[in-house]
Structure 1
Amino acid sequence: MYKLLLQGKRWKLSQGVTRMQRLLLGLLFSTGISLLAYRRRSLSRSGIAGAIIAGTTTFGLGGWSWGLSLIFFFISSSIFSHFRAPDKAHTAADKFSKGGQRDIGQAAANGGIATLLALGYGLASSASLQQVLQAGYTGALATATADTWATELGVLSLQQPRLITTGKPVAPGTSGGITLPGTGAAALGALTLGVVFWLLQRCQKSLASLPLIALVSGLGGSMVDSILGATMQAMYYCPTCEKETERRIHNCGTRTRPMRGVTWLNNDVVNFIATLFGGLLAMAMHVIQAQVYRTKING
């Protein structure tokens, strides 16, 4: 009995050391990448803090596959943000509330739900609960990837965007406006994130549905983002330029006036809600799939 207790204590100690090692490596890894991103003007100073918190938590409590998939999201998003940047500069300055340098608000909006799910995964004692949280993480991160790819690539489309709610033609960069290429980029981003996470999990058969879950939940979350952008997101009007924008101060220097939407529902809040929806949808899909599988086995 004494030997069994001693072995149990050693096992718990080794588990704790492993987690602490992952937390430390996550801290070092995320700090290095964040500083590099800051030098490349992909992150602001506050964005460094947000990225380090998300990276350390995800690596330490989720594991390597979680942390590396988060890095994939960040690197791919940064690449597409810089892709044909001069062609997007006018639209970004004219329409978007923030530029290409991501701050802590954007880090929380895109990675906050995923980070919370990683925290829950690390604290959960039930394997079944961990699987649900893992699916939710994939869905939340797939939504962030889908939305970012759609925004960065869709704005370059030669096709005129149309409002997702009414089909009315709108200017490129308008919140709630979608194009076929942009929607395709969203689907590709969500699916790619799911495939990357599955590959990092060594292509386990039990997780083979993750790419499909990521595709559906990521695309669904991206659509929620567009719907909120078209209906409830705070939008402003520049009387000087006679243009709609997300900015309180337009790039021309004019103070804008409220045009529509809920004042506190800015783009960061919309992104946070969208990733929450994507995570919840992915968890629901996993639960339904698990229930169907159990029914087949018992039947």
Structure 2
Amino acid sequence: MGGPANGFQSLPPGLGSLAAGGPPPASNSTSAAAAASVAARSAALEAATASAEASTTAAPPSYSEHYRRANTPFYHSPDASSGNGSPSSSASTSSSSSGPSLSHVSNGSGPSSPAPSPGSDAAEVSAALARAQAALERAETSLDDIQRLSSSIDAAALASLARATAPPTRWQKLLSLARSLIILGSLAVAMLATHAFGLGVQWAGAAAGAALIAGWGLRSGSLAPSGAAAAFVVGCGTLGASLRMGATLVAFFLSSSKLTAYKHEMKEGLEENAKKGGQRTWVQVLCNGLVPTILAVAYGILAGCVDLPLGPPAASATAAAALEPWRAAWLTALMGGFLGYYACCCGDTWASELGPLSADTPRLITTLRPVRRGTNGGVTLLGLSASIMGGMFVGLVFYLAGERAPAGYAVWKGGAESRGEARAWAADLGRPGAEGMFVRMVFYLAGLASPTLWIFKSQRALAVEQWRLIPLGLVAGLVGSALDSLLGATVQFTGFDPKTQRIVGRPGPGVVHIAGKPWLDNNAVNALSASLTAVLTAYVALKSFGF
């Protein structure tokens, strides 16, 4: 019979789920969309209720109701009330057989309620249908609001995505470059300043700088959480022991992180271990940083955490006059080993990140046969060039940072000539008036920018003698990258998985062997090649600087 189900069936297509309490067709996560969805659901339920009322009102009467209505004129006619004739008998007979409704009339308790007229039934049906129509209109309006809101949100999301994926304009590139230069300049000034006011400030600045670098690496995705913790330990020990060693570490980390993220989408499909942003774990950080950190701490113990030039004491009668020959030799070897280690790491990293982007087919370093991109031991001309540039970059940073040690170094560790120049500058700094102000400004600015090259004559002479660090870093980068490729082609497994279409570093079902034995993984190969390069560079440094 006519019930609420008929009311739900009277809804237009698409509103059935709303009336039944289901989710709206165009729901959205925003508060406005949720409010519109609730309004649409309420309107649909109201429409269903009104339609159900209309269906109930318009439903046909039952048989007993129809019989009572059909016999009402007979029971209330004058002949029936007088009790004469056969109608009375008929009424009695009917009363005994028609149930409670007819016995109520024959007992004389008064006439029954008059039947509703057809006009009142039609009015009720019309009113119910009008309420249902109004509810349906409200539901349609709410659904239109939801669709408009969803369309506007989609349009805003597409516009934001287009802005994010659009190539940067020239001004955006210039602003990004300027921001990077400002950050690097501020970092350099801070490092110089912390190394000019004693060991307490120096180590406090080292801890703060290491925390900032580790936090930046974690936030940018260059470091995993474990890698950030390891980077803090490595950075604090290196920055506190030596300015030039800390600057070399920071330069290697920043440049390698940028190159790892460069065109990562193209490199991601080559190797199975490629990660978004090149996140480094504690194992990778310690493989690249544990050995040089030990070298830096040992150097700091022997040198008093002050940067000294490479070479024997006889090479200079000023800054290194108080050093014992054995101490000078050990300091030279430690600095040479540190330089060689990071030159190898930087050269190998630059080659690994830029080499796969070459248009040339890589060739295995042992047999020169063509191999797939990403194969351990595969070399290209672009990769070899990148390793040379990476090593030279480390040598340049190591040279510049070491020869720009704070001006206090020449006074604390320098000879008579440096102390005499310092006293002359002190006299000039005391001049009154504008001339003295100008001299003080030049002194302090020069002390931050390049104290050893601009202020003290003896330090300028030592700086010229240390230029050999740049080609030493270049050679170390090339040799270290070649050693890494040689080890990768022989003692590190390289295979190709046809299922994933990627280079894999371990044997497995269906993996096609390309080169190498499964004896060492990539981290062990990096640590071994860098350590060998450090030993070779330390020996070359001793011979190059007069030992």
TM-score (norm 2): 0.46
CA distance in 2, matches of 1:87, 1:193: 27
* From 45, 57, 65, the counterpart of 2:225: 45
Q: Deviations over 1:141-199 (max 9, x none)?
A: 11110000001111111111000010010111110000001100000010011011111
CA distance in 1, matches of 2:244, 2:507: 39
CA distance in 1, matches of 2:235, 2:348: 20
CA distance in 2, matches of 1:40, 1:255: 36
* From 260, 268, 275, the counterpart of 2:523: 268
In structure 2, what is the equivalent of residue 187 of structure 1?
Answer: 388
SS at 1:208's partner residue? Answer: helix
In structure 2, what is the equivalent of residue 230 of structure 1?
Answer: 489
The answer to whether the 8 Å contact 2:268/2:275 transfers is no
In structure 1, what is the equivalent of residue 400 of structure 2?
Answer: 199
Correspondence 1:55-74 to 2 at 5 A: 55-61=235-241, 63-74=242-253
SS at 2:198's partner residue? Answer: helix
CA distance in 2, matches of 1:284, 1:238: 43
Please report how far the alpha carbon of residue 241 of structure 1 lies from its aligned counterpart in structure 2 after TM superposition: 4.6
1:122 aligns with 2:305: no
Please report how far the alpha carbon of residue 225 of structure 1 lies from its aligned counterpart in structure 2 after TM superposition: 0.3
Please report how far the alpha carbon of residue 256 of structure 1 lies from its aligned counterpart in structure 2 after TM superposition: 6.3
Q: For residues 119 and 143 of structure 1, do their structure 2 counterparts lie closer, same or farther at Cα, with a shift above 3 Å needed?
A: same
The answer to whether the 8 Å contact 1:111/1:144 transfers is no
1:104 aligns with 2:282: yes
Q: For residues 88 and 260 of structure 1, do their structure 2 counterparts lie closer, same or farther at Cα, with a shift above 3 Å needed?
A: closer
CA distance in 1, matches of 2:352, 2:515: 21
CA distance in 2, matches of 1:217, 1:189: 10
Please report how far the alpha carbon of residue 64 of structure 1 lies from its aligned counterpart in structure 2 after TM superposition: 1.6
Correspondence 1:129-168 to 2 at 5 A: 129-168=330-369
Identity of aligned residues (%): 33
Q: For residues 82 and 171 of structure 1, do their structure 2 counterparts lie closer, same or farther at Cα, with a shift above 3 Å needed?
A: same
Q: Deviations over 1:207-239 (max 9, x none)?
A: 211111111122111100000000011345536
SS at 1:155's partner residue? Answer: helix
SS at 2:271's partner residue? Answer: helix
Unpaired runs of at least 5, structure 2 = 1-194, 304-326, 404-452, 454-462
Unpaired runs of at least 5, structure 1 = 1-14, 295-299
The answer to whether the 8 Å contact 1:34/1:51 transfers is yes
CA distance in 2, matches of 1:234, 1:98: 20
Please report how far the alpha carbon of residue 22 of structure 1 lies from its aligned counterpart in structure 2 after TM superposition: 2.4
The answer to whether the 8 Å contact 2:375/2:494 transfers is no
CA distance in 2, matches of 1:276, 1:98: 26
Q: For residues 42 and 255 of structure 1, do their structure 2 counterparts lie closer, same or farther at Cα, with a shift above 3 Å needed?
A: farther
The answer to whether the 8 Å contact 1:97/1:246 transfers is no
AA matched with 1:158: A
How many corresponding residue pairs?
270
AA matched with 1:91: L
CA distance in 2, matches of 1:28, 1:221: 32
AA matched with 1:69: T
SS at 1:128's partner residue? Answer: helix
The answer to whether the 8 Å contact 1:161/1:177 transfers is yes
Higher RCO structure, 1 or 2 (CA under 8 Å, sep 6+):
1
The answer to whether the 8 Å contact 1:190/1:214 transfers is yes
In structure 2, what is the equivalent of residue 219 of structure 1?
Answer: 478
- Tell me how large the CA RMSD over aligned residues is: 2.5
